[in-house]
Structure 1
């Protein structure tokens, strides 16, 4: 009896197809998997025969996905994610510890402090995989609400209507300063600097990491030229180089202002203050796993919350 789709679409088979697509050839996939190329070709052909669909275009030396192959990999990735989720839930029931914990970390959060917490976490939960996601602006909350993260650090925009099923606590308060390089034209301007004068110069902005929609921009003036960068550290670097101007978290800018590598300028507009939160999703009848409970316990400490917002002194070296 010929193999059916249910026979061939196993997690191992889907992983094999992902490897071929990533490697770009059957030979490359065989090297990654420690198999001979003919074995990879045979297994792919089995799947194609069962589905009655060509998954890879073999017209060139590269194994390029057909439209049908791309659709199968999209659905396969979802199915593998569901298998992992089932395994995680089973392990949760058995031990209370999550098999994986994902934390969305906003651009304003101290990376060094998060790493120190991760180090301590691995001491008590060596078998839980920890995944950190770099996020910014509305993307931090979106990572949580979409199910892509279990905990979000630095949610700055927790609006009414977007927080259904979420729990949130305030991390604290963080001031932003308008800062420019000492060789930038605005460094010599009298204070307070007007929006009209700021508008004449390029701003540096961190890109919103949200995947769907237009995202948010903060601190920009309508029609102002913008240099968009992926992280807050990249924004700091760009402003140190005089590539643009903008607001920076005061703790991140402080060591560079103190050494003269940045000049903090008073501006006409109201001071910018952000009150970020940390948030986590409802976790169903089982409640939070022991891993999430551990992180929430650490976040109860005022010293930990303060460090997450303030300890940016080593954002850049040199």
Structure 2
């Protein structure tokens, strides 16, 4: 066996014969002489050291090794074709990858909708996606790990980043219905609020490390995952701010209730959301698509939750 001598052309002939059902039909599809197709298959079999087709019948039939190796041949050709598409795109100035940093409060449904549309527009471009909170999103953009970021939980934008204003996210303060704060009628005092455990997102960045945003309690439990915070809120382990789109079903079902404080009106508060990127980052077609698509958003409500 001398696999180093294999050619992509031999693999394409192999796949075409298998798909066409005969050497003659494959030759017609490939616009070649039947003898050339037969020679390509014979050479491939010799190099692999196995018979790919049983030629004893009227039509060639794949052998057991042929069936197994056909799947490998298809995979090799798929990878090669993908390589060619990506190389051609890069030669035209299109990025091979888009790296995004997205705030944990950004609605998943909207993000899924954007990603689906991006995949349809740029099937050869891969996506690297990081979901972060607070200063970690801006930090990813500043250090070059992300081409653009979507900020939500960070109240200020670093001055050395360009920004596009997006539709806002509504935040509500919630607790479980059996929590002590849920029993208070009307507005909750600052003193009482400070005595109850507040669940807050932790900051994994150096940009805003050791800074607190919207923290009103002396007792805090910190976590980096919004799903964990959501579960702890429903378990009655504390109170906290959550995006309305995340807890809407819980509020409707009575698994969570809203609370009113000096900082948290009954209807909730609007959280500004921004897209940020470095002014010196050259935007190719793929990144330009993201900048244009985000700028055109009229709502952050997506098709999935």
TM-score by length of structure 1 reads 0.61
* Mapped pair 1:194 → 2:186: no
Residue of structure 2 in register with 1:294 after alignment: 289
Contact 1:219-1:246 within 8 A present in 2 as well: no
User: Who is 1:99 aligned against?
Assistant: 96
Structure of higher CA gyration radius:
2
CA 1:158–1:249 in structure 2 vs 1: closer, same or farther (change >3 Å)?
closer
The residue number in structure 2 matching 1:227 is 221
- Offset, 1:206: 0.9
- Measured against aligned partners, the alpha-carbon deviations of 1:112-154 in whole angstroms (never above 9, x if no partner) come to 3212322222222222221001110111111111111001113
Q: Distance in 2 between matches of 1:232 and 1:282?
A: 30
Cα separation, 2, equivalents of 1:137 and 1:154: 8
Q: Is the 8 A contact 2:164 2:295 kept in 1?
A: no
User: Partners in 1 of 2:304 and 2:240 — Cα distance?
Assistant: 19
- With normalisation by structure 2, the TM-score equals 0.64
**Could you tell me which residue of structure 2 aligns to residue 203 of structure 1?**
198
TM-superposed deviation, 1:159: 4.1
In structure 1, the residue matched to 2:112 is: 115
Counterpart of 1:173 in structure 2 is 168
Q: How does 1:60-139 map to 2 (within 5 A)?
A: 94-139=91-136
Give, in angstroms, the shift of residue 197 of structure 1: 0.9
Name 1:252's counterpart in structure 2. 246
Q: What is the alpha-carbon distance in structure 2 between the residues aligned to residue 276 and residue 221 of structure 1? A: 22
1:163 aligns with 2:159: yes
Distance in 2 between residues matched to 1:244 and 1:313, nearest whole Å? 28
| Structure 1 counterpart of 2:256, from 245, 256, 262 | 262
Instruction: Kindly indicate whether residue 233 of structure 2 is the aligned counterpart of residue 239 of structure 1.
Output: yes
- Counterpart contact for 1:110–1:312, Cα < 8 Å: no
Taking the aligned partners of 2:253 and 2:304, their CA distance within structure 1 comes to 12
Alignment of 1:135-150 (within 5 A): 135-150=132-147
Question: How many residue pairs align between the two structures?
Answer: 216
Q: Say whether the 8 Å CA contact 1:173–1:275 is kept in structure 2.
A: yes
**Taking structure 1 as reference, are residues 216 and 288 closer, same or farther at Cα in structure 2, changes over 3 Å only?**
same
Q: Distance in 1 between matches of 2:130 and 2:117?
A: 18
Structure 1 residues 215 and 136, CA gap change in structure 2 (3 angstroms): farther
Asked if the contact 1:251–1:312 (Cα under 8 Å) also holds between the matched residues in 2, the reply is: no
Give ranges in structure 2 of 5+ residues lacking alignment: 1-86
